[in-house]
Chain A
């Protein structure tokens, strides 16, 4: 006879991890990582070509950082939306979900596992990209500094020497630093929010295209919302109750994605306002929590 069944644990991190890892495997074997190849080529090409654009040495490094961060944001935004949009609908369509949920797997665990798997891909991609960026930046910085150090050893006028020393100190500043990580982290957090939003939309959307389009529109709204609302609030003579209510609602539902944009500040070297990281971290966690909960409510009752 069979032994009596072991007591079932309501929430098991093991099962969430198993599903997350499976999703990671899925995305890796689907070669989503080819994106990365393109990205690293962009950085390396940029590193090689930039010297022809400008003579200003520290500007070269700045452009490199700008381009890399741009590539990272693009990668994370597109990946967070496109890859996540398909995770659950695909399992539903292929009916793989039947066999998964026929095991003692609560739907919440499945949902969180899928989400975590998608986000793990973003995490690893960002980690690899960051390492690449640091390496490329370091190599370029060292090469440039070596050039100027050679110049410094020649007989120079005092002004010339001063100029070179200024350039060298700028180069030191513009090289790889911890500060760059805050921008990377912000990009990652934005991807977490976008992924959760997309997952939520995908639980009730009728098609993958719908999910992707709605998620991009939501992203766009969240991105321009602060500018538009500020303009509207400052230009309108009087704002009706309804108007202000709706505008707050828009602000609440669509996260202000400008908050996650630390790139400009970080690249230009401006100091981060105190508490910025704590603010975006808590904001991201709150939105992720709310979206996942909403996704669960849609998914829990879903007919398969």
Chain B
């Protein structure tokens, strides 16, 4: 089957306007493929080239070398964008439109008819939880609401591929859970997703495959499971263990004699996110509905 996204040998060089004609290599010879139906996470430090890669993929920026394609259509052609939804980082829409008008605008640009848009925007506003705010202008939206209307906007014409640049940046943990659930729902609907994020735990939770990009180069890539497993280590989790039991265990390990060694022992660390959610909603974040 045709890959949803294929990036071949992409290099992007920016000329920085200055006296010395400096150049910035934002992306260097990057190749990757995302199969249809997959959720792909692009992670890396600030300035490593994630957004640039996405912009080239969407034809907003021209590749210096190499090529990118969406479902086999080159990104330079307008028709490659029929099947894509894009949520840019820190999205910003027309402030003077209401939530509903925003969806109407993008729906029309995506080629939908009025009637289809009416149905679809009702559906999407409910999906992202903005039904109450549908008649309010975006100038009065909070950051999280903007992010969610952006997500709805990306999905309006039922694209087969959704590109999300830091979809949970600036969103509170509950909202960010919600976005995560939406992404998982997209996977159930057979939509391919490529996203970038700094929240590694979230990436870990939703992505099938990740690529780690550093200084414009893809330095590691693979299925989530493979990347996360540290094959030669084992974690033991105990409850209500007495100090004597722990001492005993240590002795057993020491006396076992072979190469095994105790690396650490202590209370398992809870993540800040988990803690915050438990404190603020009073229920374990794992009980997803």
Q: How far is the CA of A30 from the CA of B96 in the complex (A)?
A: 8
Which of A62-70, A92-100, A145-153, A255-263 lies on the face that meets chain B? Answer: A92-100
Bound complex: CA of A155 vs CA of B97, how far in Å?
67
Contact (Cβ within 8 A) A103 B110: yes
Q: Of B62, B79, B97, B160, which contacts A104 at CB under 8 A?
A: B79
From known contacts A5-B82, A104-B78, infer whether A304 and B158 are also in contact, taking CB-CB under 8 Å: no
A5 to B81, CA, bound (A): 11
Measured between alpha carbons, how far is A295 from B177 in the docked complex, in Å? Answer: 44
Residues of A within 8 A of B160 (CB): 2
Query: How close is B261's CB to chain A, nearest CB, in angstroms?
Result: 52
Interface residues of B in 244-284 (CB under 8 A from A): none
User: Min CB distance, B211 to chain A, in Å?
Assistant: 21
Docked CA distance A25–B78 (Å): 26
Which one of B53-61, B128-136, B197-205 is at the A interface? B53-61
* Interface residues contributed by chain A, number (CB under 8 Å): 31
A161 lies within 8 A of chain B by Cβ = no
Residues of B within 8 A of A104 (CB): 78-79, 81-82, 109-111
State which of A6, A25, A98, A101 has its C-beta within 8 Å of the C-beta of B97: A25
Contact between A105 and B78, CB atoms less than 8 A apart: yes
Which residue of chain A lies nearest to B150 when distances are taken between CB atoms in the complex? A99
Do A26 and B110 touch (CB < 8 A)? no
- List, in ascending order, chain B residues with CB within 8 A of A106's CB: 78
- The reply to whether B79 and A22 contact each other, CB–CB distance below 8 Å, is no
B158 near A8: Cβ-Cβ < 8 Å: no
**Known contacts A2-B160, A106-B78; A303/B61 CB under 8 A:** yes
Residues on the A chain within 8 Å of B88, using CB: 95, 98-99, 102
What per-residue 1/0 map shows which CB atoms of B74-111 lie under 8 Å from chain A?
A: 00001101111110101111101100000001101111
Question: With a CB–CB cut-off of 8 A, which chain A residues contact B96?
Answer: 25-26, 29-30
Majority-rule SS of A interface residues = loop
| Nearest CB on A from B257, distance (A) | 58
Partner of B59, one of A94, A95, A99, A101: A101
Cβ of B170 within 8 Å of any chain A Cβ, yes or no, is no
A301 to B60: give the CA distance in the assembly, Å. 10
**Which residues of chain A are near B83, meaning CB under 8 Å?**
2, 5
Find chain B residues with CB under 8 A from A2 CB.
Answer: 83, 158, 160, 190
- Asked if B196 CB lies within 8 Å of chain A CBs, one says no
Contact yes or no, B92 A95, CB < 8 A:
yes
Q: How far is the CA of A1 from the CA of B192 in the complex (A)?
A: 12
| In contact, B58 and A102 (Cβ under 8 angstroms) | yes
Contacts of B62 in A (CB 8 A): 301, 303
Pair A22/B94 contact, Cβ less than 8 Å: yes
- Chain B contacts of A228 at CB under 8 A? none
Is A172 part of the binding interface, using a Cβ–Cβ cutoff of 8 Å?
no
Whole-angstrom CA separation of A198 from B66 in the bound complex: 35
What is the distance, in angstroms, from A29's C-beta to the closest C-beta of chain B? 4
Any chain B CB within 8 A of the CB of A14?
Answer: yes
Q: Name the contact of B109 in the complex, choosing from A10, A98, A103, A304 (C-beta under 8 A).
A: A103
Interface 1/0 per residue, B136-168 and A, CB below 8 Å: 000000000000001001000110100100000
In the docked arrangement, what's the CA distance between A122 and B208, Å? Answer: 53
Chain A positions 13 through 26: 1 when the CB is less than 8 Å from some CB of chain B, otherwise 0: 01100110010011
Docked complex Cα distance between A18 and B102 (Å)? 12
Does A15 contact B109, Cβ atoms closer than 8 Å? yes
Q: For the complex, what is the distance from the CA of A249 to the CA of B221, rounded to whole Å? A: 58
CB proximity of B166 to chain A, nearest CB, Å: 13
The one of A8, A18, A98, A304 that contacts B105, using a Cβ cutoff of 8 Å? A18
Docked Cα-Cα span, A175 to B77, in Å, equals: 57
The A-contacting residues of B in range 5-39, CB under 8 angstroms, are 14
Contact residues in B for A96 (Cβ distance below 8 Å)? 92-94
**Using Cβ atoms and an 8 Å threshold, which residues of chain A touch B94?**
22, 26, 96
Q: Considering the chains assembled together, what is the distance between the CA atoms of A266 and B153 in angstroms? A: 51
A119–chain B nearest beta-carbon distance, Å: 19
Q: Contact string, A273-304, partner B, CB cutoff 8 A, digits 1/0? A: 00000000000000000000000000001011
Residues of chain A in range 1-48 having any CB-CB distance to chain B below 8 Å: 1-2, 5-6, 8, 10, 12, 14-15, 18-19, 22, 25-26, 29-30
Contact bitstring A139-178, B, C-beta under 8 A = 1, else 0 = 0000000000000000000000000000000000000000
**B interface residues with partner A (beta carbon < 8 Å):** 14, 55, 58-62, 78-79, 81-86, 88, 90-94, 96-97, 105-106, 108-111, 150, 153, 157-158, 160, 163, 190
Known: A5-B83, A8-B111, A102-B86. 6 other contacts (CB 8 A): A12-B111, A96-B92, A98-B91, A104-B111, A105-B78, A106-B78
Q: What are 16 A-B contacts defined by CB distance under 8 Å?
A: A1-B190, A2-B83, A2-B158, A2-B190, A5-B82, A10-B78, A12-B111, A26-B96, A94-B92, A95-B88, A99-B106, A99-B153, A100-B109, A101-B81, A102-B84, A103-B81
